[in-house]
A and B are shown apart, each in its own frame.
Chain A
Amino acid sequence: MTPDRPSAPRFARVPSGGPAFVAALLLSAALSPTLAQQPAARPSTFDAADTPGDSGGSITLTWSLSEDDGGGAQNVTGYELRRGTQAAGPFESVGFAAPGATQFRDPSAKAGPYYYQLTAVAPGGLSSEPLTVGPVRASAQWFRTARWNVLIIALFLFAVILYYIERGRRGHPPYVRRIAGLDALEEAIGRATEMGRPIVYVPGVHDMNEVQTVASMTILSHVAKKTAAYETRLMVPNRYSLVMTTARETIRESCLAAGRPDAYREDDIFYISDEQFGFVAGTSGLIVREKPAACLFLGSFFAESLILAEIGNSVGAIQIAGTAQPAQLPFFVAACDYTLIGEELFAASAYLSGEPKQLGSLRGQDIGKMLAFFGILLGTALTTLATLTGSPALASAFAMVSRFFANAS
């Protein structure tokens, strides 16, 4: 809907001749508004529509810039947006957009239908004449259109992973390269058994809603099964109570699965502190006192990674670490004997189980990586060639590829 522009103000004719001329000039000046007192020019277009691909309750308002935006006679300081349930009002404010903005989303349009008013605001509160649009009602959609590319990639990955899992189940397990850190777990547990010293397993500093902690629990079950079989003491300090509870259940079930329920020691899986450095201090003290033969740091870590690794090194423990936090990996690589880097932490459970169907999922991950690899190659080639040749076709091809892989809101 495009409202009409208001007509320009009319000025009185100025007569010629001496005092009459001056009087007329003064009279016209008193009657006519000066430039400084004129309201801002209102935008020429204003539209309101249901925000697409959302859960309803949101209206997207768009408009063209006022002629006084970014210069002009009245420097517009922003756009006031108001909402009402009737065309004639009353209207209440729903937001204020900065100068230069041409779009605003009203996320509180739950009921409706609504009418919206837009005014361009100038210094001294000289708003333009309002533009009104409506009625418009928000509605919910069944698909987030902005995420269509994410859905395609997700479905592709799911299909590939499940295909290779099924191939594994049918007796065609893929080749998986050796992961030194995971092979060393057996060595670490054996060392602890021989020396009669415990193993300290730290499942990270995040709670159970972090997928790295879930991955850590899957590795813990494998470790616990072995330690139960070898009668090696396994100590698990925890930062969060939920992680402690989950770790206890995991280890208990692993002891049962190993046929050694008596190996389960509840007191060895304990809570220390929710506070990050309180947890670090407690765990460091535990390592120094108990002098474990092996320290396993598997999960999500932050600044405490180097502290824990160095403390473990100081007591002569063999150390295996794994995290998906890129910022902490260098510390673990420098201070630990073995480090699982990023995805190796998530592959650990499949690798340790040795089951063909689980190993098949690793091949599916690799196919996903190939997709990313070729996407990067394609994008790089297209943008390089587009820049070198100046070809619009290549430039639009690159735009298409980058739009597909761009982040969706």
Chain B
Amino acid sequence: MSGFRLPEIDRRLVFAIVAAVVVFPIFFRLSLPEVPSTIVMNVFDSVESLPAGAMVLMPMDFDPGSEAELQPMARAFVRHCAEKKLRITFLTLWGTGSQMIERVTKDVLIPEFPDYQYGRDWVNLGYKPGMESVITVILNDLKKTFPTDVSGKNLDDIPLTRDVRNLRNYNLILSVSAGYAGTKEWVQFAGDPGQIPVAAGMTAVQAPLNYPYYPRQLKGLLGGVKAAAEYESLLIKKYPRYEDQQKYRFEALTRMGPQTFAHLAVIGLILLGNATYWINRRAAQGGA
């Protein structure tokens, strides 16, 4: 006689459950406090320890597909650097990266930091094809590959880059990347040979591939939305004006609500799947 059996859940119901647990916290603006991990705090400290006027290179090597995961950390990095009055140089090795730079500067840097002047405090060098060969050249001579900024203005005429010879003039490389060419290439071809500190933000899938570089070649790394949320929480704690969540949107913290609930839903589904498996196996053995 066969025993009690549990039916397998139709995959469409699984999708509906995931949709519901993702929409619910967005609708009710639910988010949970984040406890920053050491690896994220190291990234924060590598920016926080820089004096005003220090030079930061921010390569934005990602595309619309990974924007949801990486744009929040890009924004957090820009906010942090601007709060510290660091001089930022943007560039990208991805063809789609130019739009990413434009979004973060238009949506965050320009409106939130009106005192930040283009040319004096920040500059956008744009996109250059060539992947790691670009890095190899600009490690020794920046203006050979980037003679002008994205608008065509000669770098010798821009105050920020006038005296810059190469990457060794930068105090920190703060990479945001979704794959190749990305953080790994910045570490291998710039950070390590040029002895330039590198910290990075990347997708959660990329993070395990870059752990071998931490902590020697990579000061710290942000892997995915959770790490971005931890960084944002550090930023809010250090700069209380960001507690006004109506005025300053912190996307990673907002998205952690749905992500946490989605994780819990997956955990629940795994437990349910195992319960289904074991109950049905027992029933089959009992009936055999």
Q: Do the beta carbons of A107 and B65 come within 8 Å of each other? A: no
Q: Do the beta carbons of A101 and B205 come within 8 Å of each other? A: no
Q: Which residues of B contact A303 (CB under 8 A)?
A: 65, 205
Q: Which residues of A contact B163 (CB under 8 A)?
A: 96
Of B147-155, B164-172, B248-256, B275-283, the one with at least 4 CB within 8 A of chain A: B164-172
Q: Do the beta carbons of A98 and B205 come within 8 Å of each other? A: no
Most buried by A among B11, B141, B168: B168
- Among B141, B166, B169, B208, the residue within 8 A (CB) of A327 is B208
Tell me whether A96 and B140 are in contact in the complex, defined as CB-CB below 8 angstroms, given that A101-B195, A327-B205, A327-B206 are known contacts. no
Is A95 on the interface with B (CB-CB < 8 A)?
yes
Task: Say how far A394's CB is from chain B's closest CB, in angstroms.
Answer: 22
Rounded to whole angstroms, the CA-CA distance of A326 and B168 in the bound complex is: 33
Q: Which residue of B lies closest to A331 (CB)?
A: B205
- Among A96, A100, A276, A302, the residue within 8 A (CB) of B166 is A96
Rounded to whole angstroms, the CA-CA distance of A326 and B65 in the bound complex is: 20
Q: Which residues of A contact B140 (CB under 8 A)?
A: 95, 105, 107
Number of residues of chain A lying within 8 A (CB) of chain B: 19
Is A314 on the interface with B (CB-CB < 8 A)?
yes
Task: Say how far A60's CB is from chain B's closest CB, in angstroms.
Answer: 12
Q: Which residues of A contact B11 (CB under 8 A)?
A: 314
Most buried by A among B165, B169, B179, B208: B165
Number of residue pairs A-B, CB distance < 8 angstroms: 34
Q: Do the beta carbons of B168 and A276 come within 8 Å of each other? A: no
- Among B65, B141, B168, B208, the residue within 8 A (CB) of A98 is B168
Q: Which residue of B lies closest to A276 (CB)?
A: B65
Interface size class of B (residues with CB under 8 A): 10 to 19
Rounded to whole angstroms, the CA-CA distance of A105 and B137 in the bound complex is: 12
Is A97 on the interface with B (CB-CB < 8 A)?
yes
Tell me whether A95 and B165 are in contact in the complex, defined as CB-CB below 8 angstroms, given that A107-B140, A277-B65, A303-B65 are known contacts. yes
Q: Which residues of A contact B209 (CB under 8 A)?
A: 326-327
Quick one: which of B209-255 are within 8 Å of A by CB?
209
Task: Say how far A239's CB is from chain B's closest CB, in angstroms.
Answer: 14
Rounded to whole angstroms, the CA-CA distance of A101 and B11 in the bound complex is: 60
Q: Which residues of B contact A101 (CB under 8 A)?
A: 168, 195
Interface string of B187-209 (1 = CB under 8 A from A): 00000010100000000011011
Rounded to whole angstroms, the CA-CA distance of A149 and B205 in the bound complex is: 32
Q: Which residue of B lies closest to A107 (CB)?
A: B140
Most buried by A among B179, B195, B205, B208: B205
Rounded to whole angstroms, the CA-CA distance of A174 and B193 in the bound complex is: 44
Rounded to whole angstroms, the CA-CA distance of A111 and B166 in the bound complex is: 22
Rounded to whole angstroms, the CA-CA distance of A96 and B142 in the bound complex is: 11
**Which 3 A-B pairs have CB atoms at the shortest separation, nearest pair first?**
A96-B165, A98-B168, A327-B205
A residues with CB within 8 A of B: 78, 93, 95-98, 100-101, 105, 107-108, 276-277, 302-303, 314, 326-327, 409
